[in-house]
Amino acid sequence: MFTNVQYGSASDTHAMDVCSVQESCAWVIDGSDALFPTHITEAAHDGEWFVKELNAYFKQNLTSPHWRISDIVYQGLRHIHHKLLSYPGADQLCDLELPNACCAAVRIMHSRLYYFILGNCELIITHPDGQMTSYIDLRLQQLDAKLLELSREMHDQKRMPLFTARNFMDHLLVENRLRRNIEGGYYVLSEDATVVKHALVGSLPLQDIKSISLICNGFSQYYNCEKVKTYLDRYLKQERSGEFVELYEGMLAKKKPNDKLARYMQESLSGQSTVVFFDVNEVNQIHYRK
């Protein structure tokens, strides 16, 4: 069903992302260490451990015809959290000391494509007429975009020196990340399995789909507390070059305009972006390269 799989990446060696394409389901997972990092697992980073466990769970369970994707993710998060609690000291940690992940997953059932998106991952559908539609969870980006807007207004109206404004915004960026999995904030995969009810979910008839792209947008680089203070300047000045970047930006340029899908600050690739492209058809052979 999913064929002609191609993989592209701008990820650096520290990225915590993974993607997998099977016959009728596919996903990308983008992980991050906690806002206040601890290290309790045997992996190099707890974020890597979390992504590995979730990836393994998806491989075993995502094709189950008896459960919705949300139900499978819910059970997976409960299973993984129970496993995490087996490590010494894990039961003493608060939520902001535990790893996170974002994901975008798709599955074909009954001639429809079902999708699940939570956090900083993206699904792009290319339609038979060449139009593109993006599905992406922008809640954290929207919080930061408000700060960027406020910073510009203060600078333009000369209400605050630019250096002071930037320092002020740095503190608010950290505050935004403290809104993890709470009302009015943003939601990511974590120790709390109930976050699945905040995911973007839906379905499309297969006849409306030509190909699919699943994208990790560099969640760890965007979220992690150690990089928050310098992230805005570096992100907005990100060098835009290379064949992969041109292809990705070309896809964005062709997308059907939709104000609700505005990318805010996410207009250029971060240094940890990963994407997998594949066609949707009836051929049951897959070539996958990573």
Q: Which domains does the chain have, with CATH numbers?
A: 2-138+186-225+243-258+269-280 (3.60.40.10)
pLDDT given for residue 254 in this prediction: 55
CA distances from 273 to 15, 89, 96, 289 (A): 9, 33, 24, 16
Contact 271, 221 (CB under 8 A): yes
**Average pLDDT of the chain to the nearest whole number:** 78
Distance between start and end Cα atoms, the chain:
19
Q: Print the SS3 string covering 89-146.
A: CHHHCCHHHCCEEEEEEEEEECCEEEEEEECCEEEEEECCCCCEEEEECCHHHHHHHH
Contact 31, 189 (CB under 8 A): no
Q: Which two tokens stand for residue 70?
A: 């949300």
pLDDT at 289 over 50: no
Q: Over pLDDT 90: what percentage of the chain? A: 41
Q: What is the DSSP string of 39-96?
A: --SSSSSHHHHHHHHHHHHHHHHTT-TTS-HHHHHHHHHHHHHHHHTTSTTGGG--GG
Lowest mean pLDDT among 6-10, 129-133, 164-168, 176-180: 164-168
Using CA atoms, how far apart are residues 132 and 252, in angstroms rounded to an integer? 8
pLDDT bracket for residue 109 (50, 70, 90): very high
Using CA atoms, how far apart are residues 104 and 263, in angstroms rounded to an integer? 17
Model-level pTM? 0.80
Using CA atoms, how far apart are residues 56 and 101, in angstroms rounded to an integer? 14
Nearest to 98 by CA among 189, 12, 172, 176: 189
pLDDT at 149 over 80: no
Q: Over pLDDT 70: what percentage of the chain? A: 70
pLDDT given for residue 173 in this prediction: 75
Other CB atoms closer than 10 Å to residue 167's CB: what's the count?
12
How does pLDDT run across 218-276, given as a tens digit for each residue?
Answer: 777 666 544 453 443 443 344 434 444 455 455 555 544 443 333 333 444 455 677 88
Lowest mean pLDDT among 17-21, 48-52, 99-103: 17-21
Contact 41, 49 (CB under 8 A): yes
Give me the mean pLDDT over the 148-161 stretch. 69
pLDDT given for residue 234 in this prediction: 45
How does pLDDT run across 175-209, given as a tens digit for each residue?
Answer: 788 889 999 899 999 999 999 999 999 999 999 99
Torsion sign, CA atoms 205, 208, 210, 216:
negative
